[in-house]
Chain A
């Protein structure tokens, strides 16, 4: 449970969320609220359900109890609207190996029904130092570079709620700094972010929800 006393009302309200996977109870009774400009960190040992919680919030995995509400309305009532609000970074990068970084980002925008702004993409590429690599096919990049490309894809989108699964994986120190900057900007602009991570995000005002107790 995360304490919200003295804070602005929550946009995202999760109450009593429970998930079973393959017969095993992964988590139950999870509740928290997250408002605009807030960041929630999910911590816990491997297998404690961080990824499952993120996937449950994204409605990729069905939950067997509890509710997820956005501004008072259950998100399952209008799934498409909820998905439009979400930006996703999972374990895999979500990049097509034979497409270039730039092509991957612009197709990702199109598949989200967003218009492709060249400026936005340029900014996203620059934020993660990918401008030189933007024309290279994704399969020629290193693991760290692909992770940065996936992050650039996220940043180039217009999602308000970011769901990040181990975003710091495979990133070197400069890239981690870049990610922190980008997340701070996102939050300052009123966005929300939930990140499952082993590494401390080092961002001011980040609250923590520990799973697996």
Chain B
């Protein structure tokens, strides 16, 4: 009886995901194949950076989607707190680790990309530093949602954190940019240089779409897992 209320939406979600996942997986795999071939083989090397520019095809999409992921967390949080949508909590639990992984990929690829240019694996440039802080925000969300024995309490606390964090992300970005210009006025340390040639732009957009598809795929898969896990917990409670 207790689980009826819970299953109202998640059951619908399960049916939706079961229909969509197979096609989505194939589409993502194909898109990846095309994107990687395009980016690694077809696209010309940059006249300044040579072949290392190809890391951008992974870095920029990962970075952008990581930020979008946090916005998604905030939206899911609002959905949980305001409309008490039970699926929102589970989807947030699924999304946070994926977003954190994308952020980590963004950090690692950013570091690798910068290595040939800067000579070190890490510089405190504005974008990488903001990114590092976004990573900590993700870690906080993951840790908080799992810090309680009562899973619902964890979900709701993490939802509040996501909302406050989302408001703070632009503030943090602004302050880190300010900090950077204050301490490094002259050098243009922008990854990727001043502008992007069209022959690089299109594969970049393709990879952006591909990684977005992958993000959605992973979120759907993990949400399914979270539904099962929550069902199991409820079954144990009611046994």
Contact = CB atoms under 8 A, between A and B. Distances in A.
A45 to B, nearest CB: 17
Contacts of A24: 2, 237-238
B51 interface: no
B1 A23 contact: no
A25 B3 CA distance: 9
Contacts of A23: 2-3, 6, 152, 233-234, 237-238
Interface string A1-38: 00000000000000000001011110000000000000
B90 to A, nearest CB: 13
Interface in B225-239: 233-234, 237-238
Interface string B1-38: 11101100000000000000000000000000000000
Interface string A168-192: 0000000000000000000000000
B150 interface: yes
Q: Which of A20, A22, A23, A64 gathers the greatest number of chain B CB atoms within 10 Å?
A: A23
A23 B3 CA distance: 7
Interface residues of A, number: 6
A23 B151 CA distance: 10
B43 to A, nearest CB: 51
A24 B150 CA distance: 11
Contacts of B150: 22
A40 to B, nearest CB: 26
Contacts of B152: 22-23
B83 to A, nearest CB: 13
Contacts of A20: 2, 5
Contacts of A25: 1-2
A25 B152 CA distance: 14
A23 B89 CA distance: 14
Contacts of B1: 25
Contacts of A22: 150-152, 237
A22 B237 CA distance: 9
A203 to B, nearest CB: 35
A64 B1 CA distance: 14
B5 A64 contact: yes
Nearest to B3: A23
Contacts of B2: 20, 23-25
A24 B151 CA distance: 13
A64 B2 CA distance: 12
A25 B6 CA distance: 12
B18 to A, nearest CB: 24
Nearest to A25: B2
A194 to B, nearest CB: 25
Nearest to B6: A23
Nearest to A22: B150
Contacts of B238: 23-24
A64 B237 CA distance: 19
A40 B5 CA distance: 30
A60 to B, nearest CB: 14
B49 to A, nearest CB: 54
B172 to A, nearest CB: 33
Interface in A82-96: none
Nearest to B2: A25
Contacts of B234: 23
A119 to B, nearest CB: 43
8 contacts: A20-B2, A22-B152, A23-B2, A23-B152, A23-B234, A23-B237, A24-B238, A64-B5
Given A23-B6, A25-B2, 10 more contacts: A20-B2, A20-B5, A22-B152, A22-B237, A23-B233, A23-B237, A23-B238, A24-B237, A24-B238, A64-B5
Interface of A: 20, 22-25, 64
Kindly list the 10 A-B residue pairs having the minimum CB-CB distance in the complex, ordered from nearest: A23-B234, A25-B2, A22-B150, A24-B237, A23-B237, A24-B2, A23-B2, A25-B1, A24-B238, A20-B2
